[in-house]
Structure 1
Amino acid sequence: MKLSVSLSQSIVDRMMKQIPYNINMMNEHGVIIASGDPNRIGSRHIGAVSAIEQDKTIVLADDYGEAGNWGVNMPIRFDNEIIGVIGITGSPAEVSPFARLLVTATTLLLKQDQQSKREETRHTQLVRFLSSWLQTAEPTTDSFLKLEARTNQIDLEIPRRVICLSGKAANNYQLDVNEFQLPFRPPSQLIIVQTKHGLNRLIKFAQENDCQIGIGSLTTNLQRSSTEARQTLYLQKLLSNSELKYYQQVQFTDELLQRRLALPEMTTAFNQLDQLNDGELNHTLLAYFQLNGHIADTAQLLHIHRNTLTYRINQAKEITGYDFHDYHNLFQWYVVWLYHRADQKMQKSSESN
């Protein structure tokens, strides 16, 4: 451990606001690295050199031989090693208590700084491990990952879920025991939970803090669970449906999007309808599909008369040749709408980047 110039000068500046004496801090070679007198920085302090060589406090009388260099010089020990010296100019009887206090305060600050660096290193190692964990398809057979897991005292064979939490408050979530957190695309966090209690706590946090949440499967394959959690959140936003929290709820839709079925005739029909009245007919069909073909409920949602709704559905049939009272046709239309919606979102994303 070495005394840093910045920490030493910070200590000197703060202490000199409290006591009416000049303070010098010297490194392990007796060179002044911080002082209330900037002109002395860089010079070798003879009293500090003596304190280091003799491993004891050196009291300098006013006749020591260097003008303005009387006072005390007290070694700073850390991990059984002298790492520097604190010197205070003034009457030894008056400044000695301050020197002892300053040595103690400096030692405590150094211990705190050392602990902070250890925690920072530990956090960096954990983040690196978590990143690898979420990118490994078979973690229980990966020898390097297993070694890292043992170092972090983590059992890879315990099934867990990855949850994607998104929102301004996502970073404020307080982890429980055996939970881990990894920053994702701001403002999102990937959180690994092990228990049902942890899952329920996260869901409650999301509800209370206006966060979106996507929940992956319970598995030892966190790569898959992470992909599912992120995809759930994506589809939740794509479909504008905050009730879709679990991947199982969106899995079928996700696979439809990934397969990209060839439906050229229905795509043409969709585009025809989309060009009329700002896509009014497509908007009507979407509401009709989402409400399971219930005429009354759909009309109420759209704030139109049920006869108007029936007229619009029949109009869509006249234009395209497809009967949208037929669920087979309506479902094909919905699949095309999904592709169209996903393409729009991708285009907006590329334009913003």
Structure 2
Amino acid sequence: MFFLDTQLAQQIVDRTMAIIGHNINVMNSQGMILGSGDPHRIGSIHEGALLAISQNRTVELNNASAGSLHGVKAGINLPLHYQGEIIGVIGITGEPEHLRAFGQLLKMTAEMIVEQANSIELIQWQNRQQEEFILQLIKGKYNDIEQLEARAKRLNIDLYMPRVAAVIQVQDDNSDTMGNPLLKQVLNLLKNPSRGNLIAMTSMTELVILKPAFLDGKQWNASLESERIDQLLKRIPTEISVQLKIALGHYFPAATDIHHSYQTAKETLRFGMQMQPKQSKYLFEDFALLVMLSGLKQDWRGQQLLTPFSRLIEHDNNQQLRKTLAAYLTHLGDQGACAKQLYIHRNTLRYRLDKISQITGVELNNIDGLLQLYLGQVLLNDPS
């Protein structure tokens, strides 16, 4: 059953009083005045409304009959209905013979306002339920698959549609308790048209999109999805798009593995922003090795893998050796190009490289050693 509240009741009063020049009262199903053109009457019980509710009819009261009831003035009181049930009463203050022409008009107006408010509330409720469901999916926190399927069905979501996760982050400092205005604009653009996307805000500056994975209707194609992201960025106004970072995760065939797709999107975004900060779009395929190995940081294997670079950090206070290593890795061991980038003599470069090998215990002419230092540089978020 729908219940009137003070905010909606006062909205009805304000909008209906704009139609006629008489005071309006709106009472709930218990006869309490929730909204009125006379603020002093709010909160009091209207016995005329109780009569209209109990008899389910329009109650007219002139000055003489109103005097015998508590908290009542002359006027007309009409029951308000929603889906066949009485939810309250709208009352018009004044002599009934002057108000009869307005009664049904105001009743219809009030019931339309109630219908509209309930529709908006229902949509907002559905949006909240869908967002909570999406957050549950990307966190992977569910044990009962049948319960998950039932909830998806209630929300009209095809749980087994192949999907892939993308993450959008807004680089904006204007977030407050009301949210991020830029992110909300992006959210509206993505929902219109929705194209089957499931979208939820994960923070004040970030949202997740669970996108249908088969754009051609047959199979996952990362290149097609990349082109689709480019089209999206073109749709977004430039003043917004320049503040956006979007990352596309990896596609997992099992629908219940969508949380893995989300994790890869998050990691892709992190590595992309770290290594290519000027770019707006990051694809899992471009950072696949780093994303897949990033989980090793908390494992003993990962700690062993990162030990050589950790030693370098410990012995390189001015970051000179790390910057040298970064240039060396960028140029794939080309000492000439590396020395040129660093504006140093090749002998100086060789000295630094020997020192890096001495500290880390890694031979730089060995591909395994170079890979180990490269992973250390990236996974430990080194700013060099």
TM-score (norm 2): 0.73
Amino acid at match of 2:324: T
Contact 2:264 2:291 in 1 (8 A): no
Amino acid at match of 1:235: F
**CA distance in structure 2 between the aligned counterparts of 1:85 and 1:137, rounded to whole angstroms:** 46
Residue-pair matches, total: 336
Amino acid at match of 1:280: Q
Secondary structure, counterpart of 1:261 in structure 2: helix
1:85-136 Cα shifts (integer Å, max 9, x gaps): 2222224344334333321221112112222232233223222322332244
Given the alignment, which residue of 275, 281, 288 partners 1:251?
A: 288
Contact 2:16 2:110 in 1 (8 A): no
Residue 231 in structure 1 maps to residue 234 in structure 2 = no
1:188 corresponding residue in structure 2: 206
Residue 205 in structure 1 maps to residue 238 in structure 2 = no
1:36 corresponding residue in structure 2: 37
Amino acid at match of 2:102: F
Residue 6 in structure 1 maps to residue 4 in structure 2 = no
2:304 corresponding residue in structure 1: 261
Q: Which has the larger radius of gyration?
A: 1
Amino acid at match of 2:381: R
1:290 corresponding residue in structure 2: 330
Moved more, 119-128 or 183-192: 119-128
RMSD after superposition: 3.5
1:130-172 Cα shifts (integer Å, max 9, x gaps): 2332244999x92222222232333333321111111144441
Residue 178 in structure 1 maps to residue 202 in structure 2 = no
2:102 corresponding residue in structure 1: 98
C-alpha deviation, 1:212, in angstroms? 1.6
* Map 1:293-308 → 2, pairs under 5 A: 293-294=333-334, 297-298=337-338, 301-302=341-342, 304=343, 308=344
**CA distance in structure 2 between the aligned counterparts of 1:114 and 1:145, rounded to whole angstroms:** 27
Moved more, 142-151 or 65-74: 65-74
**CA distance in structure 1 between the aligned counterparts of 2:376 and 2:206, rounded to whole angstroms:** 29
Gap regions ≥5 residues in structure 1: 346-353
Closer, same or farther: CA 188–312 of 1 in aligned 2, 3 Å: farther
Amino acid at match of 1:158: M
C-alpha deviation, 1:181, in angstroms? 1.1
Amino acid at match of 2:128: T
Amino acid at match of 2:208: L
Secondary structure, counterpart of 1:134 in structure 2: helix
Residue 89 in structure 1 maps to residue 90 in structure 2 = no
1:338 corresponding residue in structure 2: 378
Contact 2:357 2:364 in 1 (8 A): no
C-alpha deviation, 1:318, in angstroms? 4.5
Contact 2:335 2:349 in 1 (8 A): no
1:183-213 Cα shifts (integer Å, max 9, x gaps): 2233111110014366643344357513222
Contact 2:202 2:208 in 1 (8 A): yes
Residue 153 in structure 1 maps to residue 156 in structure 2 = yes
Residue 314 in structure 1 maps to residue 350 in structure 2 = yes
**CA distance in structure 1 between the aligned counterparts of 2:141 and 2:284, rounded to whole angstroms:** 18
Secondary structure, counterpart of 1:336 in structure 2: helix
Contact 1:270 1:337 in 2 (8 A): no
Contact 1:206 1:213 in 2 (8 A): no
Closer, same or farther: CA 199–104 of 1 in aligned 2, 3 Å: farther
Closer, same or farther: CA 293–91 of 1 in aligned 2, 3 Å: same
1:64 corresponding residue in structure 2: 65
1:327-353 Cα shifts (integer Å, max 9, x gaps): 5554443233234426x89xxxxxxxx
1:304-324 Cα shifts (integer Å, max 9, x gaps): 3xxx25233212135345675
**CA distance in structure 2 between the aligned counterparts of 1:60 and 1:165, rounded to whole angstroms:** 61
**CA distance in structure 1 between the aligned counterparts of 2:32 and 2:380, rounded to whole angstroms:** 71
1:222 corresponding residue in structure 2: 258
**CA distance in structure 2 between the aligned counterparts of 1:156 and 1:143, rounded to whole angstroms:** 11
Contact 1:72 1:99 in 2 (8 A): yes
Closer, same or farther: CA 264–31 of 1 in aligned 2, 3 Å: closer
Amino acid at match of 1:251: A
Closer, same or farther: CA 218–95 of 1 in aligned 2, 3 Å: same
Contact 1:281 1:313 in 2 (8 A): no
TM-score (norm 1): 0.79
Closer, same or farther: CA 138–202 of 1 in aligned 2, 3 Å: farther
1:26 corresponding residue in structure 2: 27
1 or 2 for the larger relative contact order (CA 8 Å, sep ≥6)?
A: 2
Residue 280 in structure 1 maps to residue 320 in structure 2 = yes
Contact 2:12 2:113 in 1 (8 A): no
